[in-house]
Amino acid sequence: MSGYDVVGEAADGASAVTAARRLRPDVVLLDVRLPDMSGFDVAEQIAGESGAVVITSSHDASAFRSRMRSSAARGFIAKQDLSGSALADLIGGPA
């Protein structure tokens, strides 16, 4: 993604928590649906330990609006809209 370097990947929520705590990235992109827990659950676990957490999904944001309001995530970007500039617009940062 333009303006950002990928420093890690995880196949499930537990691995994402471990990687985020170990790598301490500036931004964490989390899919809503992970094999073992939701991206929202991961966001709660790593809140304050990593940079901005952004939830993403192939589903429309309206499906997650109520959950986003109480989430530790900075915001939501639909996968079809995910780009370096969309991420920068949401969190402030490189474009």
What pLDDT, in 10s, does the model give residues 33-49?
A: 999 999 999 999 999 88
Quick one: which of 12, 92, 7, 14 has its CA closest to 54? 92
65 CB-near residues (< 8 Å, 6+ apart): none
In the chain, where are the structural domains located? 13-81
* Residues 38, 56 contacting (CB under 8 angstroms): no
Confidence of residue 24 (pLDDT cuts 50, 70, 90): very high
Fold topology of 13-81? Rossmann fold (3.40.50)
CB 42 within 8 A of CB 72: no
Q: What is the pTM of this model?
A: 0.88
